[in-house]
Amino acid sequence: MSTDTMDGRTALVTGASSGIGRELSRVAAADGYDVVITARREERLQTLADEIEAEHGVSATVITQDLADPSGPDELFEAVRNAGIELHTWSTTPAFPSTGRSSTPSGRRNATCGE
């Protein structure tokens, strides 16, 4: 176990299979947080979880979930609750499509890359 543990505190990081989410997972673990990592790509998440546990001595829980799916956030909430995990902090790193249109949280329509 890490000597700098956050006394069992847990951070949820979405989009953790690559990029910013992956690095935020590592930072949280380095700071002594147990982590719950989520994204669509289970194999990448499991590899990251194994690396985090080996390098930082914290717990890394994998929950495979597509948060772009309308039911995704509720399913993630239920999975965390059913696992009996108490979250202390979280980081969401949204994924955006590389082509087409997407809605922002305010409901405005924005063009994305490739259009």
- At 95 the pLDDT is 55
CB-based burial of residue 114 (10 Å sphere; 0-12 exposed, 13-18 middle, 19+ buried)? exposed
67: domain CATH number is: 3.40.50.720
- At 56 the pLDDT is 97
Contact 24, 37 (CB under 8 A): no
74 lies in a domain? yes
Confidence grade of residue 93 (pLDDT, cut at 50, 70, 90):
confident
103 lies in a domain? no
51 lies in a domain? yes
- Tell me: pLDDT of 65 over 90: yes
63 lies in a domain? yes
Structure tokens at 19: 């990029």
% of the chain with per-residue pLDDT over 70: 75
Question: What does the chain come to in residues?
Answer: 115
Structure tokens at 72: 């995704």
Tabulate helix, strand, coil % of the chain (nearest 5): 35, 20, 45
Give me the phi and psi of 44, to 5 degrees please: -65, -40
112 lies in a domain? no
* Residue 100 exposure: Cα atoms within 13 Å on the Cβ side: 5
The number of domains in the chain is 1
- Tell me: pLDDT of 53 over 50: yes
113 lies in a domain? no
The whole domain housing 63 covers: 10-94
- Tell me: pLDDT of 1 over 60: no
108 lies in a domain? no
pLDDT in tens, 14-39: 999 999 999 999 999 999 999 999 99
Question: What is the tally of helices (H) and strands (E) in the chain?
Answer: 3, 6
